[in-house]
Amino acid sequence: MELKNRRALVTGGSTGIGRAIVLDLAANGADVVFTYVGPAAPQVIQAVESLGRKCLYFESDVSVFSEAERIIALVVEKMGGFDILVNNAGINRDGVVWKMTEQMWDEVVDTDLKGCFNYIRAAAPIFKEQKFGKIVNISSINALRGKFGQANYAAAKAGVIGLTKAVAKELGAYNVNVNAVAPGFIETEMTDKLPEKIKNQALDETVFKRFGRPEEIAHLVSFLCSEKARHITGEVIRIDGGQCL
């Protein structure tokens, strides 16, 4: 298995894309820790353990700087080390810019962008010292093209791309790969709640005329965390079925 004996941390790992990433990393041999807000998803832990891998979970808000330091310290303590960071946690608070409140803006930017920074900042000294690490940040195709009603989300996810590229340059000399994945419309619990009109518009944009599945994002993340991707860094890889063509 490509990730045998690696220790991974996935933020927002109890549902949707995050859950799929946790399970795929475990299927590829990694022990996994995930953070969550809300239901702890004990079935995720059971699924990881059924694969013969260790799994820990911690309720934590990624937007809190000190929480990132606490969680990563726990990963090192409980897992005996730390090799892989996947920044997946994210929220959306949609609304046209002339109706968007300061709170809507701050909540999305604090979670989707500052949350990435918080965990990268806490992980970087460890990866730098051990001269090894893999960081994958989940962005969005809407960071690349913008999206009506998502000024906050598009701005935050675009910031994730800039952060990815800057940190890739800073940590490259220490054998740390830093990449971003930009999904299109993916079938998750969150997207299931969207109006049919929005879902149909997204479907029409794809060349395959189908939505992506969380496990398809997870397969790419696991690849980027493996040594098969050791010469890839600073990249933003779209996985959207041609939605952004």
The structure tokens listed for 153 are: 């989300």
Using alpha carbons, select from 153, 118, 161 the residue that is nearest to residue 137: 161
CA 13 to chain centre: 9
The structure tokens listed for 149 are: 């009603």
Sheet with 176-183: strands ordered across: 55-59, 31-36, 7-10, 84-87, 133-138, 176-183, 236-239
Using alpha carbons, select from 117, 100, 125 the residue that is nearest to residue 62: 117
Sorted by sequence, the CB contacts under 8 Å of residue 121 that are 6+ apart come out as 65, 68
For residue 50, what is the enclosing H or E element?
Answer: helix 42-50
57 is catalytic: no
Q: How far is CA 172 from CA 39, 119, 136, 167, 219, in A?
A: 37, 17, 14, 8, 23
Using alpha carbons, select from 156, 187, 164 the residue that is nearest to residue 89: 156
Angstrom distance (rounded) from CA 224 to CA 235? 10
Using alpha carbons, select from 57, 152, 144, 50 the residue that is nearest to residue 96: 152
Q: Which of 36, 119, 153, 174 is catalytic?
A: 153
Active site residues: 153
